[in-house]
Amino acid sequence: MRRAAGGSAKLTGGTVIAAGSSGMLQDLGGDTEQNYLIVHFGSAKAGGTRLSVLDEAGKELGAFTPARSYTAAIITMKGLEAGARCTVTAGDEKIEARIMEGASIY
């Protein structure tokens, strides 16, 4: 990821799992080169609650344990191919997602 003009970010590859407040989360816009998920959880998760992404077969693609509480996450990584499905887990909450070209919002 790199900072683009105007204070936005541009995803060019790699893995990013960032979690925080839904009110602070911003869409990356259409200038990204990699698919990504924006996930809004049904309830706040306490700091120390592990967030993970599983592929369709249940294999973990990536994980992150935020130190502070969070209500949303933005996720990008290898394996988030358009048309694929994945599961995002945070504590006991599971969100089933279908990856779209560009951004997928849940």
Say if residue 4's pLDDT is above 60. Answer: no
The pLDDT score that the predictor gives to residue 15 is 87
Half-sphere exposure of 13 (CA within 13 A, CB side): 0
Based on the structure, what is the number of domains in the chain?
1
Say if residue 74's pLDDT is above 70. Answer: yes
Say if residue 6's pLDDT is above 80. Answer: no
Compare 23 and 5 and report the one with higher pLDDT.
Answer: 23
pTM above 0.75, yes or no: yes
The pLDDT score that the predictor gives to residue 29 is 63
Task: Measure the CA–CA gap between 25 and 5, rounded to whole angstroms.
Answer: 18
The pLDDT score that the predictor gives to residue 14 is 83
Alpha-carbon torsion (45, 47, 52, 53), positive or negative: positive
Which whole number is the average pLDDT over 61-86? Answer: 92
> pLDDT tens-digit profile of 11-70?
777 888 989 888 776 666 666 778 888 999 999 999 999 999 999 999 999 999 999 999
Burial classification of residue 9, based on how many CB atoms lie within 10 Å of its CB (0-12 exposed, 13-18 middle, 19 or more buried): middle
Domain that holds residue 89: 2-105
The amino acid occupying position 17 is I
Residue 8 sits in a domain of what CATH number? 2.60.40
